[in-house]
Amino acid sequence: MKINRNNTIKLLVIGLASLGLNSCLNLDEEVYSEVLATNFNPTEKDIPSIIAPVYGSFRGLMMGWQGYFDTQEESADIIITPARPNGWYDGGTYLRMHQHNWTSLQWQPTNIWQSAYRSITTANRVMSQIEEGEIPITDQKEAVIAELRAARAFAYYLLLDNHGNVPIVTDFKDVSLPEQKSRKEVYDFVVNELKEVMPMLSEDVNNTYGQFNKWVVQTLLAKIYLNSEVYIGEAAWQECIDACDEVIMGGAGYALDDNYSDIFNWENHNSPEIIFAIPYDEIYGTGNTVHMKTLDPLSRFVYNMQAGPWGVTVQCHSLLIRMTPMIQG
């Protein structure tokens, strides 16, 4: 029997090509590095991981370089960043902050703007994923959404306090150009959001360290009411008193710590004084740059640090915030 060698080779090549084509079209993969949404069936124990990105975004916003702490305290009398022989004049930005001489060159409020909206966008994204079923939550859905709204309102409060009139964005998928709102509209939005979500938030104090619960929201409302006359030209002293009384006498159990220094310990989650904390960690919760700004470069060898501090900022006197939302690290 005579075999056509050329035809046999052609058939073999076509067969191999077909196998290769089929393998190329099969793009299914088994992912080991992360959990895909299609395979994610969260339980109650997974909820902290779902909302963690929102809380994590607060680290840089509050205590990062050019963050909320910088803007609040450089412009007051807590800290100053003098022009040293080795630099850090930064075009006069710290001097302008201290003198309240705001110009178009001032970058600090811009960075708070960007950081706050990063937190807002993160909250909007997670809420959108939950509401559309991409992250399937059933039993705790209402409480989780309420907590995310409270966290988003906190970021808007920082914008209210620092900028005043800003856009309000609540829809993650809305790509239209947002409309700027008046400071009164932002104030009303934040207050209404906090009051709406409060009944749905936990009253637990022991297991909500670093999270928004009912008492954190009451405290935040008290801070807003305290400055209401500045924000909208209308005093809200009684509302501030009522919110404080809710926290102090509402059964939450908050009290001044017996030892003042304990609230600044590395492990301070059992302190009865801390109402809200933004935890920092050297490995998993980075973003606090205060020690880098304030310590002398030689402190690297004292504390066995991997990098030398900059030593550019002088702390004028100790910072004391008691019975108010705390930033710990």
* pLDDT tens digits along 127-177: 999 998 888 887 789 999 999 999 999 999 999 999 999 999 999 998 899
CA distance 326 to 320: 10
pLDDT tens, residue by residue, 183-201: 999 999 999 999 999 999 9
Task: Give the residue from 218, 219, 221, 215 showing the smallest Cα distance to 187.
Answer: 221
Length of the chain: 329
CA atoms within 13 A on the CB side of 15: 6
Tokens matching residue 167? 């856009």
**Residue 150 DSSP SS3:** helix
Q: Is the pLDDT of residue 320 over 60?
A: no
pLDDT of the residue at 220: 97
Topology (CATH level 3) of domain 38-199+286-315: 1.25.40
**Residue 214 backbone phi and psi in degrees, to 5:** -60, -40
What is the residue extent of each domain of the chain? 38-199+286-315
Helix, strand and coil content of the chain, in percent to the nearest 5, comes to 50, 5, 45
